[in-house]
Amino acid sequence: MKGLRLHNSLSGDKEPFEPLHPPFVGLYVCGPTVYNDVHLGNCRTFLTFDILRRWLTWLGYRVRYVRNITDVGHLENDADDGEDKIGKKARLEQLEPMEVVQRYTVGFHEVMQRLNILPPSIEPTATGHIIEQIQMVEKILEQGLAYVVNGSVYFDVQAFEKRVGGYGALSGRKLDELIAGAGAGRRTLEGQDEKRHPADFALWKKASPQHIMRWPSPWGEGFPGWHIECSAMSTKYLGAEFDIHGGGFDLKFPHHECERAQNLACTGQGGPRYWMHSNMLTVQGKRMGKSEGNALWPRDIFSGDHPLLPRAYSPMTLRYMMMQAHYRSTLDFTPDALEAADKNLAKIREALGFLPHLTGSGVSDFSWSSWQDSLFEALNDDLNVPLACARLLEGLKHLHQVAHKQAHISEEDLEALRSFLPRFVEEVLGLQIQATAPSDASALQALENVMGLLIQLRNEARVSRNYALADQIRDRLQKVGIQLADSREGTTWHLQGSSSVS
């Protein structure tokens, strides 16, 4: 089996993953700006890197996962303009900025926990690392790659290009395009006229008298720029050179491009060797975002209280749904996708339920070891989680046949599967599933028989045109968590994932 390959945004290619200091892996991911609740889009990005971290751990690596909390410096406009997002919320709600930060950090953790996204090893905050950020800015100034204007410090992109080079390598932006793009309108933005070049960006900003979040610095009272926090915190906890840096696609430029330039200017090293970007969650093809007005919140899904949704879905259904597109592809949110995820999750739940009650005999008529390899191969191929899920379901189909005495599994394969399957589902896919199937094989058989009987009665009711009774059977089964599905081949049933909304 081939080893892990990851797509590196820096080269634009899938590359073999070789950590700097095996078995250790340093992983840094840009965390949330805690001025608001996290929406499903944010969750998707954190889920991607949760699975990466889980997979690296499964492969035997010891992962130090650093995911920060942005609690200062992220301005409304990415071009160093506008109010601080947290400061603005504090002003509007008449709160201390740290009250805003506390509220949304707690909310963020709650959502992460419900989605079973594991906490990082270190969760540093930008406000807790002001000294490190100031030190980094000082070093960049010493290198002659930044300049001070009126209490603010800006990164000198042109000087960097001349002396170090490579600005734009990550995002593919060209410096001259950046100048052209920064047309006349931009120059009127606050602070733009302090910059020598439109592509320059703030490392430290002078605080205006009304600005609430402020710290003393060698350049007067102010606050750090948005990009410097991630350079300072990743360097502090993972070193000047480390393994992987992740975040959403939208952070490639300017955030990550600037982070990389800062790292190179300060330490001579570019920080991470692999840059990974997770694509956007969309709604009707449009990126989900708070400012786009199309954000859905995890609580909408868990309560079902949203015009787009026919009912409530469990956190695990949401998690499974978000795993159904490759992380580098966009994923469009639809209620149908949730419904499909719910059905497939029920299949996994069912299989885990009857797995302990199966009996092995004879020779397997399915190659369970190549099946297991095929799951690993999918994940090793740039974390192809949807392919791994599809292959998982293929295997479960065979297991279903074994449970219904239509196929065989050898004792040896069964034992291996019993130790592998629950661990894979829980530890790698992160699905917390409580098996809901009956506690022994004879009860399973009894349930099959009763369901067969009910389906037959319903068919008879339909034949005699007693549709009210037929519908009643279907609806009342649904109420107790059993879903009937009609097709040309007949009627099948499954346990509904939604019965376990928690």
Binding-site size for ligand AMP (CB under 6 A) equals 17
Query: Does position 72 bind Zn ion by CB under 5 A?
Result: no
* Residue 45 contact, options ligand AMP, Zn ion, none, Cβ 5-8 Å cut-off depending on partner type: ligand AMP
Question: To 10 degrees, the CA torsion angle through 74, 78, 80, 86?
Answer: -20
Q: Give the nearest distance from C-beta 414 to ligand AMP in angstroms.
A: 40
Is residue 42 at the binding interface for ligand AMP, with CB under 6 A as the rule?
A: yes
User: Quick one: 260 or 326, whose CB is closer to Zn ion?
Assistant: 260
CB of 333 to ligand AMP, least distance (A): 9
From the CB of residue 142, how many other CB atoms can be counted at a distance below 10 Å? 11
Residues 6+ apart with CB under 8 A from 412: 360
Closest CA to 21 of 180, 201, 241, 235: 241
Residue 230 binds what, of Zn ion, ligand AMP, none (CB under 5 to 8 Å, by partner type)?
Zn ion
Select from 39-47, 375-383, 393-401, 478-486 the region that touches ligand AMP (CB under 6 A).
Answer: 39-47
Asked if 103 touches ligand AMP (CB under 6 A), the answer is no
Query: Where are any strands of DSSP class E within 81-198?
Result: 81-84, 146-149, 152-155
Q: How far is the CB of 280 from ligand AMP (least distance, A)?
A: 4
Asked if residue 379 binds Zn ion (CB under 5 A), the reply is no
**Which of the 8 DSSP states describes residue 63?**
E
81 makes contact with ligand AMP (CB under 6 A): no
Q: What is the CA radius of gyration of the chain?
A: 27
**Closest distance between ligand AMP and the C-beta of residue 287, in Å?**
5
The closest of 210, 207, 259, 320 to 28, measured between CA atoms, is: 259
Q: Which of residues 211-240 bind Zn ion (CB under 5 A)?
A: 230
User: Mask: binding to Zn ion, 14-43, rule CB under 5 A, as x and -?
Assistant: ----------------x-------------
Whether 17 contacts 23, CB under 8 Å: no
Distances (CA, A) of 209 to 152, 213, 214, 366: 14, 10, 10, 72
User: Is 291 or 370 the residue whose CB approaches ligand AMP more closely?
Assistant: 291
Among 8, 33, 68, 127, binds ligand AMP (CB under 6 A): 33
Give phi and psi for 245, each to the nearest 5: -120, 130
CA dihedral 261, 262, 265, 268 (to 10 degrees): -80
Tell whether residue 425 is a contact of ligand AMP (CB under 6 A): no
Q: Minimum CB separation from Zn ion for residue 229, in Å?
A: 7
User: Strands 331-332 and 281-283, how do they pair?
Assistant: parallel
Binding site for ligand AMP (CB under 6 A): 30, 32-33, 41-42, 44-45, 70, 247-248, 250-251, 280-281, 287-289
